[in-house]
Structure 1
């Protein structure tokens, strides 16, 4: 009996998450109501409230789940310092490609800015951790450099998503890493 309830609970949460993402593709979270989510999910409001406090709580849970999933996904790879940045960027882009609709929705105009910040934190954690040691820069410079590089990279990724992912994850990883490593001199 308990296993059946767990499956039902998982299904309910899954359908509520999917319903919110569908609505977010059309309008911002502030314009969405719990009633609309429940109508799309074909679930009554009392059931919604047994799982989530409100639609903002649901969005936060979706973002936290994606963040955890990305960390697990990226943690499953091990690279040398020399190849780490490009390979981690490629793996991050592959993850985004595999979850295209979710990222199109959460990173674009109706998305939540805190999700972008979470993504930046994950990217900094995985792509920047060895820069300080390799480049012999202090902690303050490393923090500012990683903020500069990762925020620029996130915006390049958003542009890539808007352009229907017109380059492969590997090609985009090369582009992003060339920009990060060589800056404007890359264009010379």
Structure 2
């Protein structure tokens, strides 16, 4: 991609996130984005259909970066390692301003929902590798654990990171171990 195109697209996304930190998405206009990015409206529309397309593309980019940076050390049959969980918390901590904006903005529950879906899919795959008794309901357990993990991430970020990443990873890992999902 041409450097000028990359530069203008990044300026638009940066302007959009800055505006999201100040107001709900409903109050953001293409004109405000263009003015802050120092581009014209046509340039915004060249890259994005509307502010919701901009939001979708931005969220997709952020989720992909999170997944890429925090991927497991190796592919195994075992649940994601404690070191992977720690990398997730460290990545969230390093990018806390961005994630705080995304989680606090009432107009974009899609971000939280996407994180929840990723957690559900990951846990579901893990439970396919573990045999539990007949009283075990996979669907209920996946929903419960995914919601708890994402709510913990959200609480931690929106409360200005009251504990270090290592403490959060250790605590959540201990809870997961108690649920016996970390052993094959």
Task: Report the TM-score when normalising by structure 2.
Answer: 0.83
> 1:26 offset after TM fit, Å?
1.5
Residues paired across the two proteins, number: 178
SS, match of residue 103 in structure 1:
helix
Asked if residue 179 in structure 1 is aligned to residue 175 in structure 2, the reply is yes
Match in the other structure for 2:57: 61
Asked if residue 130 in structure 1 is aligned to residue 131 in structure 2, the reply is no
CA distance in 2, matches of 1:165, 1:75: 22
> 1:80 offset after TM fit, Å?
5.6
SS, match of residue 78 in structure 1:
coil
> 1:10 offset after TM fit, Å?
0.7
Task: Report the TM-score when normalising by structure 1.
Answer: 0.82
CA distance in 2, matches of 1:167, 1:81: 30
CA RMSD, 1 decimal = 2.4
Match in the other structure for 1:168: 164
Match in the other structure for 2:182: none
Q: Gapped runs of 5+ residues in structure 1?
A: 184-188
Match in the other structure for 1:186: none
- Which structure's residues are more often helix, by fraction? 1
Aligned partners of 2:34 and 2:41 also within 8 Å: yes
Match in the other structure for 2:68: 72
Structure 1 residues 129 and 77 mapped into 2: Cα distance closer, same or farther (>3 Å)?
A: same
Asked if residue 108 in structure 1 is aligned to residue 108 in structure 2, the reply is no
Q: Which is worse superposed, 126-135 or 110-119?
A: 126-135
Deviations, residues 55-75 of structure 1 (Å, cap 9, x unaligned) = 111000000111222222233
Q: Which is worse superposed, 84-93 or 100-109?
A: 84-93
Aligned partners of 2:72 and 2:80 also within 8 Å: no
Of 92, 95, 113, the match for 2:91? 95
Deviations, residues 18-48 of structure 1 (Å, cap 9, x unaligned) = 1111111111111111111111111110111
Aligned partners of 1:74 and 1:126 also within 8 Å: no
CA distance in 1, matches of 2:51, 2:146: 29
> 1:101 offset after TM fit, Å?
1.4
Match in the other structure for 2:147: 151
Aligned partners of 1:84 and 1:127 also within 8 Å: no
Q: Gapped runs of 5+ residues in structure 2?
A: 180-184
